[in-house]
Structure 1
Amino acid sequence: MPTTTTRVNHPIFAGVWPWLSRALGRGGMDEHRKALLSGLTGNVVEIGAGHGVMFAFYPPTVTRVLAVEPEPHLRRRAAEAAARAPVPIEVVDAVADHLPATDESMDAAVFALVLCSVPDPAAALAEARRVLKPGGELRFLEHGRADSPGMVRVQQVMDATFWPRLAGGCHTGRDTVAAVERAGFSMRSLERYLFPFGRTPFSFHMRGIATRP
């Protein structure tokens, strides 16, 4: 089990994100959050739990959630949210590519608007695969690469310049579906949709379930 950690500190983003997350929830994101977690059972690791916005949506069939969050301001908020959650949740200081869990110990791994901002998505997905049991589920709710060359170019310019610095490492144009498949997962279901409505560099969302062979 890896134990190395990397310091993560984005106080400005951490102050803005809870407010923005609530606004997105009122605009329809909460329905996608609920759908992402529907039917989960057993032991779950949530990678990049932020301030714990997902916690309220875990179904009672979940035995325990290991919630990983390296940003200290968000982690404190997550610990408060865990105390109000409908299932047992342990919030820990760790990073996506060094999860504090043993091999094949988890029934599911959850990424929700996280793979856009981790430094190394391939490493994060490899770690998720390591801790999942054979047949375990990877559930992801993300935004990513646009569907037209013109918008992809806009995303590339933003990602190469100012956007990651402003948004806690977020990248607008990562191809998350391809990354999940390259990591060795089998895609079981995938929904692509625009959120919010309209075509902006941030609109191209996806919600999927993949399984570890």
Structure 2
Amino acid sequence: MAAVSHPVFARVYERLSVAMDRAGLDEFRRDVVAGLSGRVIEVGAGNGRMFGHYPPGVTEVVAVEPERRLRAAAVRAAATAPVPVTVVDGLAEALPAGDGEFDAAVAALVLCTVPDQGNALAEIHRVLRPGGQLRFFEHVAAENPGRVRRIQRLVDATVWPTLCGGCHTGRDTAAAIAAGGFVIDELRRFRFPTTSSSPSSPCVLGRATRLEQRRD
């Protein structure tokens, strides 16, 4: 596996993720994984901030993280997780898992960063069993056209992805999930922080079910 290294972003993110959790992001992380059971693959685990929220019905988490500094932090976080967590190197577009291995997949603040959402979602679809769940929490395009949407287009075309580990703020991730072989069962749209006009503040949080076959 080719190493992925964003050392400056990784250092910043390790501190920023703690501050964001204290500001309320922790609550959304809990909501993402609430009620999960069985084997779970977490795609883009970062520094492992999700691990502490997995419920006891989860028998194993395979946490995939390509960035080496964040992966090392995730390994440390896994040691104190309430459920068994194995941290592995891997890319969202080439998940190190067999077909239909998992009961659920978790993607939190990662589908905004992958180079190709379609390929990443195809891989998530592949490793989930039919009827398995995709839980997601992502930065997305602002729901209504206006100033924030214009800013998103501008920053995505310039400095934001370079500075923020590949993040693209203006993606329609819910539409990509629906096009990737999933039925969206639940979808919440909100801003975090609620009063922010940052291009990364529009978010979605939801649950989707893997269809038997993808719509190609």
Give your verdict on TM over 0.5: yes
Partners of 1:197 and 1:52 in 2: how far apart?
A: 24
Partner SS, residue 145 of structure 1: coil
Q: Tell me if the contact between 1:104 and 1:130 (Cα under 8 Å) persists in the aligned partners.
A: yes
1:189 matched to which residue of 2? 186
Alignment map for 1:60-209 (pairs within 5 Å): 60-150=56-146, 151-198=148-195, 199-209=197-207
Deviation at 1:147, TM superposition (A): 2.1
Deviations 1:59-117 (A, max 9, x none): 11000000000000000000000011000011001100111111011000000000110
Q: Tell me if the contact between 1:6 and 1:95 (Cα under 8 Å) persists in the aligned partners.
A: no
Partners of 1:116 and 1:43 in 2: how far apart?
A: 24
2:209 matched to which residue of 1? 211
5+ residue gaps, structure 1: none
**Letter of the aligned partner of 2:194 in structure 1?**
F
Q: CA RMSD in A?
A: 0.9
2:214 matched to which residue of 1? none
**Letter of the aligned partner of 1:149 in structure 2?**
P
Q: Tell me if the contact between 1:138 and 1:209 (Cα under 8 Å) persists in the aligned partners.
A: yes
**Letter of the aligned partner of 1:111 in structure 2?**
A
1:28 matched to which residue of 2? 24
**Length-normalised TM-score, structure 1:** 0.96
Partners of 1:203 and 1:88 in 2: how far apart?
A: 32
Partners of 2:120 and 2:79 in 1: how far apart?
A: 27
State the identity as a percent: 55
Alignment map for 1:42-57 (pairs within 5 Å): 42-57=38-53
5+ residue gaps, structure 2: 212-216
Question: Number of paired residues?
Answer: 209
Partners of 2:190 and 2:149 in 1: how far apart?
A: 16
Partners of 2:189 and 2:120 in 1: how far apart?
A: 22
Q: Tell me if the contact between 2:142 and 2:149 (Cα under 8 Å) persists in the aligned partners.
A: yes
**Length-normalised TM-score, structure 2:** 0.95
Deviation at 1:148, TM superposition (A): 2.8
Partner SS, residue 161 of structure 2: helix
Partner SS, residue 127 of structure 1: helix
Partners of 1:54 and 1:25 in 2: how far apart?
A: 10
Partner SS, residue 59 of structure 1: coil
Partner SS, residue 149 of structure 1: coil
**Letter of the aligned partner of 1:21 in structure 2?**
S
**Letter of the aligned partner of 2:90 in structure 1?**
A
Partners of 1:181 and 1:123 in 2: how far apart?
A: 14
Deviation at 1:8, TM superposition (A): 1.2
**Letter of the aligned partner of 2:137 in structure 1?**
L
Partners of 1:7 and 1:56 in 2: how far apart?
A: 26
Deviations 1:151-176 (A, max 9, x none): 21210110000111101101111111
